[in-house]
Amino acid sequence: MTNKLRAGLLLVLLMIIALGHWLRPEAPYLRLNCHNELYDSTQPTAGMEAYMVADYVFFNDSARIYYRYFSISGDAIASLILSGTRDNRDTDRLLLSMDQFTQQVHITDQPLPAQLRQMLNTIERNMDDRGIHPIRMQVLERHHEHSAIIVQFEPSQAVGSCVYSD
């Protein structure tokens, strides 16, 4: 094999790598926004207790999840932030390893929403011995024309609709 041929093959290899990188189906930036109404069936009024906005932000291999809780009147109740890494590039079934957790709970005279208490318990329980909170997001349905997906989260098993932007 001549040097020219070797150089040519190397060039083709680089082109393939560059092309593969350029054509990667996964966007380096991805954001999911999910709006949730929270109810507590044990409360006698049984009306909406609070609402929670969940933002899932992915940039390359990093992942960050923001859970923000608001009262019916719009006052901030709490915010939880999970940071970590995105373990795969499959947007169909995202695997996340969240290893940092910060929470900010505002002091109010109202009890915390039941779902928030559950969330705090789940995050605490789900940490493995390395301090990693694994999360899997599996897409159930998509509506590209509306940039919306229905997704199921593991380990909570919760389903939810989210709007995405990339």
Partner 1 sequence: MVQIGQCRYLTQQKRLLNSQGESWELPRAEAQVLTCLLDHPNKPVDKKTLRCGSFDHPQFSESAVVRAVFQLRNFLQDDDHTLIETVKGVGYCLMQTPQPAQTAPATEPVAPPAKRRWPLAGKRTIFGLALIVTVLAALWLWVKPGPFEPHPAALKQINHSLPSGEVVELLWHSPASGHLRQDHLSEQIQAAADACSEFPWQQIYLSVAADQQGLAVTLAGRVQGQLRSRNLKISDTRSQADFNPSQWLNDGGLCDQ
State the residues that interact with partner 1 by CB under 8 A: 2, 4-5, 8-9, 11-12, 15-16, 19, 23, 25-27, 30, 34-42, 44, 46-47, 52, 91-93, 113-115, 117-118, 121-122, 138-146, 148-150, 152, 155-161, 164, 166
Which of 31, 82, 38, 71 has its CA nearest to residue 55?
A: 31
Minimum distance from CB of 151 to partner 1 (Å)? 8
Whether 54 and 67 have beta carbons less than 8 Å apart is answered as yes
Residue with tokens 């997906």: 149
Minimum distance from CB of 60 to partner 1 (Å)? 15
Residue 155 preceded by cis peptide, ω within 30 = yes
Minimum distance from CB of 65 to partner 1 (Å)? 15
Region of 114 on the Ramachandran plot (φ > 0 left; ψ -120 to 50 alpha; else beta) = alpha
Nearer to partner 1, 75 or 92 (CB): 92
Residue with tokens 């709007």: 163
Minimum distance from CB of 100 to partner 1 (Å)? 23
Nearer to partner 1, 43 or 100 (CB): 43
